[in-house]
Amino acid sequence: MKRREFIVNTALAVGGTALLTGCGKKELIKKEGQVYKRKFKDLEIPLLGFGCMRLPMTKNNEIDMLELDKMVDYSMEHGANYFDTAYMYVNGQSENAMGKTLNRYKREDFILADKSPIYKMRSQEDVRATFEEQCKKCGVEYFDFYMCHNINVNTVDIYKKVKMYDEIMKLKQEGRIKYVGFSFHGTPEILRDVVQEHKWDFCQLQINYLDWDVVKAHEQYEIVQEKKIPVIVMEPLRGGGLVNLSDRAMNKLKEAYPDTTPAEFGLRWAASRQNVITVLSGMSNLQQVKENVQTFMNYKDMDENEEKTADEIAKILQSQGEINCTACKYCMEVCPKNINIPAAFALYNQYKVTNNKMMFTIYYDTLAEAEKPEQCIKCGLCSKNCPQNLKIPELLTEISEEYKKIKA
């Protein structure tokens, strides 16, 4: 069948803070059988981006390439051809795996984003050497989108010292990078400095309806909006935290929108911000890809009532005292004891919501002995690397104390 193509002009119809900071009309492109796209420079970017941080794994803890190929094929078939990987994702295996699966396609048919690992850099030469290593791992000559990865309070000085921006701009001039950006987990003050200092094609921010207030995501969004820097959204579902809602939060959603899933609701919320070009979802199986593709094939911006419901759910979640962990695992990169920090936080959060002591202890017991919270030696390295600024050692103590108390 011949493809029908039309531009859908979506007027600003959303309420809340986003409306106040909106920059005009958002143009969406719809092709039959495909997810909605947005025009960005010379590209058409799908509103659904494929995050490559939580790839499917086999029982042997290797990336499940059979499942990954199916996921990528389904995405490509439906126009979701934007893939976002990084040096450190899946213990350094994501780039290789994405290279293998994507190289079954023509290079111009997929859009590949990668990131320069700031924490690894000692000199400007390292930036180029790492870029070449990444190209090799991905089996490509160039990246469409390339970022300074994870600028935050601990990395901002390194990124400046090694002149990462200058080196990346040289690569852009050589045609090895199309668009230069940064991903960010810092304070609004650092963000202001970063956007003043350099000219960026785009940026990647953590935006979801819970973090909008909790980690001041709205402030970050407004800062880049002022500078007219388009946004790629990461963690729209907060590492799954907005998928597995508490009963109270789920009831609120179902009362208002019985046919909506929490994932669909969260993804649409993020995509409805007017300055957003794509929303990354870290998908781990084919079913998730299918569900997300459906969401973005039938996409529409949220209306005022939906925005209000999102605010109410966020308030419920905040009042339940959850630990604000997105399961990014940056803390585990530096933990000398290999403690499974995000797993401990996830099970504790669940416990706080359900108050189910038995399930809490059962899940706690499934953690490997060496990875349990009580193995923490309180060195504090994890907290320095945590984008959410969590007081990890203290929280781990609280969790293990709670466990001991219940057991006693």
CB 98, min distance to ligand SF4, A: 22
Residue 45, H or E segment: strand 43-46
Structure tokens at 130: 């790492």
Nearer to ligand SF4 among residue 71 and residue 335 (C-beta): 335
Handedness of CA 207, 182, 108, 63 (dihedral sign): negative
Beta bridge partners of 57: 63
Q: Which of 341, 344, 346, 399 binds ligand SF4 (CB under 6 A)?
A: 341
Interactions with ligand SF4, residue window 372-401 (CB under 6 A): 376-382, 385-388, 390, 392-393, 396
In whole angstroms, how close is the CB of 118 to ligand SF4 at the nearest point? 15
Nearer to ligand SF4, 43 or 214 (CB): 214
Residues in binding contact with ligand SF4, number by CB under 6 A: 30
CB of 328 to ligand SF4, least distance (A): 4
CB 285 to ligand SF4: min, Å: 21
Q: Closest Cα to residue 46, out of 11, 84, 103?
A: 84
Q: List binders of ligand SF4 among 158-187 (CB under 6 A).
A: none
In the numeric block, the tokens 């803390």 are attached to: 331
Q: In the complex with ligand SF4, which residue's Cβ is closer, 278 or 385?
A: 385
Of 148 and 376, nearer to ligand SF4 (C-beta) is: 376
Does 342 bind ligand SF4 (CB under 6 A)? Our answer is: yes
Geometric angle at alpha carbon 273, from 390 and 94, rounded to 5°: 55
Amino acid at 111: I
Closest to ligand SF4 by CB, 27 vs 374, is 374
Identify the CA nearest to 78 among candidates 263, 281, 290: 290
Q: Of 302, 282, 307, whose CA–CA distance to 292 is shortest?
A: 282
In the structure encoding, which two tokens stand for residue 193, read together? Answer: 């400095």
Angle at alpha carbon of residue 359, lines to 248 and 237, rounded to 5°: 45
Interface characters, 300-339, with ligand SF4 (x: CB under 6 A): -------------------------xxxxxxx--xxxx-x
Residue 53 within binding range of ligand SF4, rule CB under 6 A = no
Residue 296 beta carbon to ligand SF4: minimum distance, rounded to whole angstroms? 26
H-helix segments, 198-274:
211-214, 217-226, 247-256, 262-271
In whole angstroms, the minimum distance from the beta carbon of 219 to ligand SF4 comes to 19
Distance from C-alpha of 5 to C-alpha of 57, rounded to nearest angstrom:
37
Report the SS3 class of residue 40: strand
Q: Please, what is the minimum distance in Å from the beta carbon of residue 373 to ligand SF4?
A: 8
The site for ligand SF4 (CB under 6 A) is made up of 325-331, 334-337, 339, 341-342, 345, 376-382, 385-388, 390, 392-393, 396
